[in-house]
Structure 1
Amino acid sequence: MFRQWLTLVIIVLVYIPVAIDATVLHVAAPTLSSALNASGNELLWIIDIYSLVMAGMVLPMGALGDRIGFKRLLLMGSGLFGTASLLAAFATSASWLIATRSLLAIGAAMIVPATLAGIRTTFSQARHRNTALGVWAAVGSGGAAFGPLVGGMLLEHFYWGSVFLINVPIVLMVMALTARLVPRQQGRKEQPLNLNQALGLIVAILLLVWSAKSAMKGVLPLWIIASTLLVGGLLLATFVRLQLAAKTPMIDMRLFTHPVILSGVVMAMTAMITLVGFELLMAQELQFVHGFTPFAAGVFMLPVMLASGFSGPIAGFLVSSLGLRRVATGGMALSACSFLGLSVTHFSTQPWQAGILMALLGFSAASALLASTSAIMAAAPKEKAAAAGAIETMSYELGAGLGIAVFGLILSRSFAHSIQLPSGLSSHEVTQASSSIGEAFRLAQESNTGLAQEIIAAAKTAFISSHSVALSTAGVLLIVLAVGIWFSLAKAEQPSR
Structure 2
Amino acid sequence: MTTNPTSKTLAASPPPSPSGRAGRKEWTALCVLMLPLLLVSMDVSVLYFAVPAINADLAPSSTQQLWIFDIYGFVLAGLLLTMGALGDRIGRRRLLLFGAAAFGAASLAAAYAQSAEMLIAARAVLGIGGATLMPSTMALVRSMFTDAGQRAKAIGIWSAVMTGGVALGSVLSGVLVEHFWWGSVFLVNLPAMLLLLALAPALIPESRSEAPGGFDLLSVPLSMAAVLPLVYGVKETAAEGVGTSYVIAVAVGLCFAALFVHRQRTTASPMVSPELFRGRGFGSGAALNLVAAFGMMGSAYFTTQYLQSVLGKSAIEAALWALLPSVLIGFAAPAATALVQRGVRRAHVVAGGFGTAAVGYGLLVPVGADSLWLVLAGCGVLAAGIVTVMSQLTDLALSAVPVGRAGSASSLLETGQEFGGALGMALLGSIGTAVYRTQLPSSAPDQARETLGGALALAHGEGGAALARAAREAFTSGMQVAALAGAVVLAGAAVVSARALRAPKGARGTARPATTAR
Q: TM-score, normalised by structure 1?
A: 0.77
**Aligned position for 2:495:** 483
Q: Which residues of 2 match residues 286-305 of structure 1 at below 5 A?
A: 286-305=307-326
Kindly tell me: are residues 433 and 38 of structure 1, through their superposed partners in 2, closer, same or farther at Cα, counting changes over 3 Å?
farther
Q: Which moved more, 1:433-442 or 1:85-94?
A: 85-94
* Structure-2 separation of matches of 1:60 and 1:182: 26
What's the CA shift for 1:493? Answer: 5.8
- CA displacement 1:159-186 (0-9 Å, x = unmatched): 66543343245445655x3699789979
Q: Check whether the contact 1:86–1:165 (CA below 8 A) recurs between aligned residues.
A: yes
- CA displacement 1:252-309 (0-9 Å, x = unmatched): 2354354553332222112222223323422222112212233332332344312122
State the secondary structure of the residue aligned to 2:269: coil
Match status 1:436 vs 2:448: no
Q: Check whether the contact 1:422–1:455 (CA below 8 A) recurs between aligned residues.
A: no
**Aligned position for 2:11:** none
* Structure-2 separation of matches of 1:244 and 1:74: 28
Q: Check whether the contact 1:421–1:455 (CA below 8 A) recurs between aligned residues.
A: no
**Aligned position for 1:395:** 416
Matching residue's letter, 1:357: G
Kindly tell me: are residues 99 and 207 of structure 1, through their superposed partners in 2, closer, same or farther at Cα, counting changes over 3 Å?
farther
What's the CA shift for 1:218? Answer: 6.2
* Structure-2 separation of matches of 1:180 and 1:252: 29
**Aligned position for 2:297:** 276
* Structure-2 separation of matches of 1:386 and 1:272: 20
Q: Check whether the contact 2:38–2:162 (CA below 8 A) recurs between aligned residues.
A: yes
Match status 1:311 vs 2:332: yes
**Aligned position for 1:54:** 76
* Structure-2 separation of matches of 1:101 and 1:438: 27
What's the CA shift for 1:464? Answer: 1.8
Q: Which residues of 2 match residues 93-104 of structure 1 at below 5 A?
A: 101-104=123-126
Match status 1:325 vs 2:350: no
Kindly tell me: are residues 193 and 281 of structure 1, through their superposed partners in 2, closer, same or farther at Cα, counting changes over 3 Å?
farther
* Structure-2 separation of matches of 1:268 and 1:66: 22
Kindly tell me: are residues 413 and 3 of structure 1, through their superposed partners in 2, closer, same or farther at Cα, counting changes over 3 Å?
same
Q: CA RMSD in A?
A: 4.6
- CA displacement 1:291-332 (0-9 Å, x = unmatched): 223333233234431212221121012234321222222221
Q: Which has the higher helix share?
A: 1
Q: Which residues of 2 match residues 129-168 of structure 1 at below 5 A?
A: 139-157=161-179, 162-168=184-190
* Structure-1 separation of matches of 2:470 and 2:61: 20
* Structure-2 separation of matches of 1:481 and 1:82: 39
**Aligned position for 1:112:** 134
**Aligned position for 1:376:** 397
What's the CA shift for 1:363? Answer: 1.8
Q: How many residues align?
A: 481
Q: Check whether the contact 1:152–1:295 (CA below 8 A) recurs between aligned residues.
A: yes
Matching residue's letter, 2:490: L
Matching residue's letter, 1:486: A
Kindly tell me: are residues 84 and 255 of structure 1, through their superposed partners in 2, closer, same or farther at Cα, counting changes over 3 Å?
same
Matching residue's letter, 2:291: T
Q: Check whether the contact 1:66–1:191 (CA below 8 A) recurs between aligned residues.
A: no
Kindly tell me: are residues 438 and 206 of structure 1, through their superposed partners in 2, closer, same or farther at Cα, counting changes over 3 Å?
farther
- CA displacement 1:81-126 (0-9 Å, x = unmatched): 23444565578999987765443222111123444566788x6997
Report sequence identity in percent.
31
Q: TM-score, normalised by structure 2?
A: 0.74
**Aligned position for 1:18:** 40
